[in-house]
Amino acid sequence: MTIAPLTTTTSVFVDDQHRARDFYTRLLGYVIRADIPLGEHHWLTVGLPDGAPSQDLSLEPNEHPQAQALQKALREEGIPFFSIGVADVTSAVEQLRADGVEIVQDVTDLGPVSVAIIDDTVGNLVQLAQLTN
């Protein structure tokens, strides 16, 4: 028997859940799937708008020392934590730049894919990728 997954959720460690919620919903177009208060923090999950394939992000408080070390090391090396596929990376970067988002790496053509890297303001670098073939 094989499983038939309906959704997947990726944990993204963030320095501030409120800023993360704003960034991912207001600037990247994600929608809130769950925002449940749990004491000092929230169970905060965002996903793609209805009708899109579901790859949710769980925006988790970055309080674990090993997660903090990983996040710091990736940033120092300029390595994105994850990638978001977009239809037009150049337009996406222009819009995000106009919205004040820090573009860490401008659009770069890598043959079958064009990529850019942005700063999500909560500790992570995120790659935007457009398949060009």
- The answer to whether position 81 is within a domain reads yes
- Cite the DSSP H helix spans in the chain: 17-22, 65-77, 89-98
Separation between Cα atoms, residue 104 and residue 133, nearest integer Å:
25
Question: 117-127: per-residue pLDDT in tens?
Answer: 999 999 999 99
- The answer to whether position 73 is within a domain reads yes
Average pLDDT, rounded, for the chain: 93
**Percentage of residues in the chain having pLDDT higher than 70:** 94
**Backbone dihedral angles phi then psi of residue 26, each to the nearest 5 degrees:** -70, -40
CATH number, residue 106: 3.10.180.10
pLDDT at 53: 66
Distances (CA, A) of 55 to 5, 50, 51, 89, 120: 11, 11, 12, 19, 18
Per-residue pLDDT for 108 more than 80?
yes
Count how many domains the chain has.
1
Average pLDDT on 90-104 reads 98
- The answer to whether position 92 is within a domain reads yes
The SS3 call for residue 86 is: coil
Separation between Cα atoms, residue 55 and residue 79, nearest integer Å:
21
pLDDT at 1: 62
- Cite the DSSP H helix spans in 2-130: 17-22, 65-77, 89-98
- The answer to whether position 70 is within a domain reads yes
pLDDT at 4: 66
Per-residue pLDDT for 50 more than 90?
no
- The answer to whether position 3 is within a domain reads no
- The answer to whether position 1 is within a domain reads no
- The answer to whether position 2 is within a domain reads no
Separation between Cα atoms, residue 125 and residue 133, nearest integer Å:
25
Average pLDDT on 18-46 reads 95
Range of the domain at 85: 8-131
- The answer to whether position 90 is within a domain reads yes
